[in-house]
Amino acid sequence: MELILENFEVNFNPATELEEILQNVKTIVTTYKYSVPLDREFGINAKLIDMPSVDVAKIKLGSAIIEAVKKYEPRAKVLQVEFSGTTIEGLLVNKLQIEVSV
């Protein structure tokens, strides 16, 4: 299953449990830690994005994504995290493969 984050809008009334889980995973991976007032640990550490080594950033971001999803959305299990992008582009884009327990 592929998560596409382009034009991501929150749906406060998801039609299915699957839609709710996918939306929760999208929210987790697009939120920076310390930006949520009542749960400062929610999300991904933004400092990982600016690491000088792309290879190290990929490893640490992948691990952070897996741990955050495991903690905040236990109905989803991250099977694989792939990254595209280079230091020349200055952009890392992640693609998650997840398994959902509905």
Q: How far apart are the C-alpha atoms of 9 and 58, rounded to whole Å?
A: 26
Domain contains 6: no
pTM for the model: 0.81
Q: How far apart are the C-alpha atoms of 6 and 12, rounded to whole Å?
A: 18
Tokens of 61: 């971001």
Give residue 10's pLDDT band: very low, low, confident or very high (50, 70, 90): confident
Domain contains 75: yes
Total domains in the fold of the chain: 1
Domain contains 7: no
Which residues are CB-contacts of 82 (< 8 A; sequence separation ≥ 6)?
Answer: 94, 95, 96, 97
Q: How far apart are the C-alpha atoms of 31 and 46, rounded to whole Å?
A: 9
The residue type at 83: F
Question: Greater confidence, 17 or 102?
Answer: 17
Domain contains 44: yes
Which CATH number do you get for residue 92?
3.10.450.40
Kindly tell me if the per-residue pLDDT of 28 is higher than 70. yes
Domain contains 9: no
Which residue range is the domain that position 96 belongs to? 17-100
Domain contains 71: yes
Q: What is the arithmetic mean of pLDDT over 9-18?
A: 85
Domain contains 70: yes
Q: How far apart are the C-alpha atoms of 72 and 28, rounded to whole Å?
A: 8
Region of poorest pLDDT, from 9-13, 28-32, 52-56, 84-88: 84-88
Q: What is the arithmetic mean of pLDDT over 27-44?
A: 93
